[in-house]
Amino acid sequence: MTTTKKSKTPTLTSNEKTPRILSIVNQKGGVGKTTTTVNLATALAAVNKKVLIIDFDPQGNASTGVGVENTQREVTSYDLILNDVSLADATQAAAVPGLYIVPATIDLSGAEIEMVSLMKREYRLKDALEGAVGDYDYILIDCPPSLGLLTLNALVASDAVLIPLQCEFYALEGLSHLMRTVELVRANLNPELSIQGIVLTMYDKRNKFTEQIENDVRQYFGERVYQSVIPRNVRMSEAPSHGKPALIYDMHCAGSKAYIQMASELLKRERQLKKDKELTAA
C-alpha cells in the first residue's frame, strides 16, 4: 500500500492501460451477482489479467468470497467514497494472484444517507476510481440488491453493466425496470454506459420457468445474452464458507467450468468491441 493521495487528473501515457469498468447489477438479491463477480474476476486473473473487485454491497459477501475476513477490512469502499481515501490505500491483494479487492463492511449501509447532502453525490465512486488509470485491466463492481445511490454511483463509474439473471417468474419484470434505470443514467449522468451482457445464473432445466424465460430473454436481448449459462451447482454455494472463489475451491465442478467458459466469451466480446471502436475511430 502507498500513501499517495488520489490524483484527480491522471495522465495517461502510451504504455498505460485504461481499465474496463463493469458493474455487476441486478436489484434482486440472491440472483448470483456476487458469485459472478468473484468467479469471473478469478477466471480473468487466471489468464493474467489484473483485476480489481470493488465490493459495493454492505453485506460484504464478495470480500468474504475472496478470503478477506471482517477483521482484515480496515479500509473499505465506504472510506473510498466518503473519507477521501485513495484507491491504492483502500485496495488489498486477494488470495488469488492478480486479483485485488476494495472490501466492504456494514458501514457502507449508512453511505446512501450520508451522501445525500453531498455535492456530486452520484460521482463519488467515479472520482475515486480515476486513480486506477494505468493499473488494472478490469474493475468489477459488485452492486447491492437495490437501485439506490450506491448502485447509481456504480453505474456512473462504469463503462458497461453485466446482468446476472435467474430464470424465475418475476425475472423479466425486474429486468425491464433495470433497463429503464440504465437508460436514465445514460441520458442524464453517463452517456457512455452500455450493456455488456446478460448471463443466466442458477440455471436449472427442471424448473418449468427456465425454458420459457430463457427463450423470452434471448429473443428480446439477442446477442447480448451470453451463450454460456451458469448451472445450479451445490459446489458454488459451498465455496464462500471456505473463503475461496468456487474456481479455486473446485475448479472442475460444473459451475466453475461454466464461469471459465463465460470469461472466455467475455474476453472475445471485449476484443470485438475494441476492434469495432478502432474501426469507428479510423
Instruction: List interacting residues with Mg ion (CB under 5 A).
Output: 33-34, 57, 61
Q: Are strands 92-93 and 99-102 parallel, antiparallel or unpaired?
A: antiparallel
Q: How many residues lie near ligand ADP (CB under 6 A)?
A: 18
**Site string (220-239) toward ligand ADP, x via CB under 6 A:** ----------x-xx--xx--
**Site string (132-171) toward ligand ADP, x via CB under 6 A:** -------------x--------------------------
Q: How far apart are CA 263 and CA 212, in angstroms?
A: 25
Question: Residue with CB nearest Mg ion?
Answer: 34
The reply to whether 255 sits near ligand ADP by the rule CB under 6 A is yes
We find the least distance from the C-beta atom of residue 190 to Mg ion, in angstroms, to be: 22
**Residue 144, binding choice from Mg ion, ligand ADP, none, Cβ under 5 to 8 Å by partner class:** none
Classified as helix, coil or strand, 231 is strand
**Sequential DSSP letters for 42-106:** HHHHHTT--EEEEE-STT-HHHHHTT--GGG-SS-HHHHHHS---HHHH-EE-SSTTEEEE---G
Of 23-62, which residues contact ligand ADP (CB under 6 A)? 29-35, 61
**Residue 230, binding choice from ligand ADP, Mg ion, none, Cβ under 5 to 8 Å by partner class:** ligand ADP
Q: How far apart are CA 205 and CA 210, in angstroms?
A: 6
For residue 141, give the amino acid letter: I
Asked if residue 54 lies in contact with residue 141, where contact means CB atoms within 8 angstroms, the answer is yes
The reply to whether 97 sits near ligand ADP by the rule CB under 6 A is no
We find the least distance from the C-beta atom of residue 30 to ligand ADP, in angstroms, to be: 4
**Nearest to ligand ADP of 56, 136 (CB atom):** 56
The reply to whether 240 sits near ligand ADP by the rule CB under 6 A is yes
**Nearest to ligand ADP of 85, 96 (CB atom):** 96
Grid cell digits, residue 10: 491522471
Classified as helix, coil or strand, 199 is strand
Helix (H) or strand (E) holding 153: helix 149-157
Q: Which residues bind ligand ADP (CB under 6 A)?
A: 29-35, 61, 145, 201-202, 230, 232-233, 236-237, 240, 255
